[in-house]
């Protein structure tokens, strides 16, 4: 029983050590880009669009006058 | 063409919630409306361009809203031979320029000629490195802010793989060859300034 406990404890220590090493590796891993565009592309891919824009846009569109309804129909695929 | 109706159907549908969508996806629009598709496909590119041109997330959010609204209001001017992407970019570029009335005077280095980049010793053939992901956005912004406006816009457009040199040339009012030539200098300038931003 005691042996089992020691074994578990060792395993936990190893896990913790491994986790720490992985974290350190992640922190020190340099990102490398071949060009400015590549870097910007990466940055753009991890830049989320704020969801509030859509809500505001929807509200703004709802307030448009009826004169704009023709293009609404086009947007919606109507004839 | 049918007569204009009293209320756009999109808005009537717009209050139906849809589960399991991405963060960039319109929250309530019907997935199959062209409106939602256009927004889904291009909002990230437009927001990113506005963010990096204006350097302020709140201004970029406002600009993205205004760009899409303007685009949809001017739908009758949209020619199908141009893509939605370039149409939206054109509006976004003009919109951001208008917001920055002092576009050319905003940055001290904007009028500096290429001699600066040519004479600066920088390892431009080396990869651009950054240690922390969290610092990347800030360093990119700092670097772009110091670039001449023309180079900044060029690099942001070239970073979009959906755009050809022809389209970038049309958006920046120059030939594709001129785009290629300036791109070389823009890359070099970016590399020099990025190194300094560390």
Query: Which residues are CB-contacts of B29 (< 8 A; sequence separation ≥ 6)?
Result: A54, A58, B10, B13, B14, B35, B36, B39
Cα–Cα distance measured from residue A36 to residue B187, given in angstroms and rounded to the nearest whole number? 6
pLDDT digits (tens, 9 = 90+) for A36-72: 999 999 999 999 999 999 999 888 888 877 655 555 5
**H/E element holding B90?**
helix B84-99
Asked if the structure places residue A6 within a domain, the reply is: yes
Q: Which two tokens stand for residue A65?
A: 């006058």
Q: Is the pTM of this model over 0.90?
A: no
Q: Are B154 and B179 in contact (CB under 8 A)?
A: yes
Task: Give the count of domains, chain A.
Answer: 1
* Residues B2 and B96 placed together within one structural domain of the fold: yes
Is B123 an 8 Å CB contact of chain A? no
* Residues B70 and B130 placed together within one structural domain of the fold: no
Is B198 an 8 Å CB contact of chain A? no
Cβ of A53 and B72 within 8 Å?
Answer: no
Last residue of a domain, one of B101, B131, B152: B101
**CATH number of the domain enclosing B187:** 1.10.10.10
Asked if the structure places residue A75 within a domain, the reply is: no
Cβ of B10 and A35 within 8 Å?
Answer: no
Query: How many CA atoms are closer than 13 Å to the CA of B144, on its beta-carbon side?
Result: 26
Contacts of B87 in chain A (CB under 8 A): none
Contacts of A79 in chain B (CB under 8 A): 1-2
A6 to chain B, minimum CA–CA distance in Å? 38
The number of angstroms, rounded, from the C-alpha of B106 to the middle of its chain's C-alpha atoms is: 18
Q: Which residues of A32-51 are buried (b: 16+ CB within 10 A; e: fewer)?
A: ebebbbebbbbbbeebebbe
* Residues B17 and B96 placed together within one structural domain of the fold: yes
Q: Please name the residue of chain A whose CA is at the shortest distance from the CA of residue B34.
A: A75
Is B122 an 8 Å CB contact of chain A? no
**CATH number of the domain enclosing B46:** 1.10.1740.10
pLDDT digits (tens, 9 = 90+) for B122-166: 555 567 776 666 789 999 999 999 999 999 999 999 999 999 999
Residue numbers of B between 140 and 179 with CB closer than 8 Å to A: 140, 155-156, 158-161
Last residue of a domain, one of B52, B82, B101: B101
Q: Are B157 and B163 in contact (CB under 8 A)?
A: yes
Q: Note down the domain range covering A32.
A: 2-63
Burial of B46 (0-12, 13-18, 19+ CB in 10 A): buried
* Residues B86 and B109 placed together within one structural domain of the fold: no
Contacts of A59 in chain B (CB under 8 A): none
Cβ of B43 and A49 within 8 Å?
Answer: yes
Query: Taking all residues of chain B, what is their mean pLDDT, rounded to a whole number?
Result: 78
* Residues B156 and B126 placed together within one structural domain of the fold: yes
Q: Are B146 and B109 in contact (CB under 8 A)?
A: yes
Q: Note down the domain range covering B116.
A: 104-198
Q: What is the pLDDT of residue B73?
A: 83
Q: Is the ipTM of this complex over 0.90?
A: no
* Residues B9 and B82 placed together within one structural domain of the fold: yes
Task: Give the count of domains, chain B.
Answer: 2
């Amino acid at each position: 029983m005691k042996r089992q406990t020691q074994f578990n404890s060792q395993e936990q220590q190893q896990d913790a050590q491994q986790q720490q090493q992985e974290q350190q590796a992640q922190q020190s891993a340099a990102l490398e880009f071949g060009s400015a565009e590549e870097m910007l592309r990466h940055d753009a891919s991890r830049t989320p669009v704020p969801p509030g824009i859509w809500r505001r846009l929807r509200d703004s569109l709802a307030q448009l006058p009826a004169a704009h309804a023709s293009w609404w129909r086009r947007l919606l695929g109507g004839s | 063409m049918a007569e204009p109706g009293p209320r756009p159907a999109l808005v009537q549908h717009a209050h139906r919630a849809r589960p399991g969508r991405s963060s960039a996806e319109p929250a309530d629009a019907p997935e199959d409306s062209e409106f939602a598709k256009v927004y889904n496909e291009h909002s990230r590119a437009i927001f990113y361009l506005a963010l990096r041109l204006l350097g302020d997330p709140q201004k970029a959010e406002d600009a993205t809203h205004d760009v899409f609204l303007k685009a949809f209001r001017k739908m009758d001017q949209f020619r199908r031979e141009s893509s939605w992407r370039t149409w939206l970019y054109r509006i976004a570029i003009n919109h951001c320029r208008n917001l920055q009335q002092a576009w050319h005077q905003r940055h001290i280095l904007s009028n500096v000629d290429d001699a600066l980049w040519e004479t600066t010793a920088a390892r431009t053939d080396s990869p651009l490195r950054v240690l922390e992901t969290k610092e990347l956005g800030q360093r990119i912004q700092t670097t772009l802010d110091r670039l001449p406006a023309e180079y900044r816009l060029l690099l942001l457009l070239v970073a979009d793989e959906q755009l050809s040199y022809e389209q970038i040339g049309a958006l920046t009012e120059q030939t594709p060859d001129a785009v290629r030539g300036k791109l070389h200098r823009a890359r070099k300038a970016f590399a020099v300034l990025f190194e300094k931003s560390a």
